[in-house]
Amino acid sequence: MKLYRSFKNISTIKNSVVSVGMFDGVHVGHSSVINRVIAIAKEKKIKSIIITFSNSPASYFSKDIIDLQITNSKEKIELFKKTELDYLFVVEFNEYIANLILSRFINEILISVFKVNYIVFGYDNHFGKNREGTYEYINENFKDIKAELIIASKEDKKTISSTRIKEAILNGDIINANKLLGHTFTISGKVVKGMQLGRKLGFPTANIAYNSLEKIIPKNGVYYTITKIKDKEHVSITNIGTKPSVQKSSTISIETHILDYNQSVYGQNISIIFYDRIRNEIKFNKIQDLIDQITKDIEIVRKLNSLQITT
The CATH number given to 2-157 is 3.40.50.620
pLDDT tens digit string along 161-203?
999 999 999 999 999 999 999 999 999 999 998 766 667 677 8
Please state whether the predicted TM-score (pTM) of the whole model is above 0.85: yes
pLDDT of residue 310: 45
Domain with CATH 3.40.50.620 in the chain: 2-157
pLDDT tens digit string along 284-297?
888 899 999 999 99
With helix as H, strand as E and coil as C, how does the chain read?
Answer: CEEECCCCCCCCCCCEEEEECCCCCCCHHHHHHHHHHHHHHHHHCCEEEEEEECCCHHHHHCCCCCCCECCCHHHHHHHHHCCCCCEEEEECCCHHHHCCCHHHHHHHHHHCCCCEEEEEECCCCCECHHHCECHHHHHHHCCCCEEEECCCCEECCEECCHHHHHHHHHCCCHHHHHHHHCCCCEEEEEEECCCCHHHHHCCCCEEECCCCCCECCCCCEEEEEEEEECCEEEEEEEEEECCCCCCCCCCCEEEEEECCCCCCCCCCEEEEEEEEEEECCCCCCCHHHHHHHHHHHHHHHHHHHHCCCCC
Determine the average pLDDT of the residues in 5-33: 93
pLDDT tens digit string along 208-222?
998 888 899 999 999
Domain with CATH 2.40.30.30 in the chain: 185-306
The CATH number given to 185-306 is 2.40.30.30
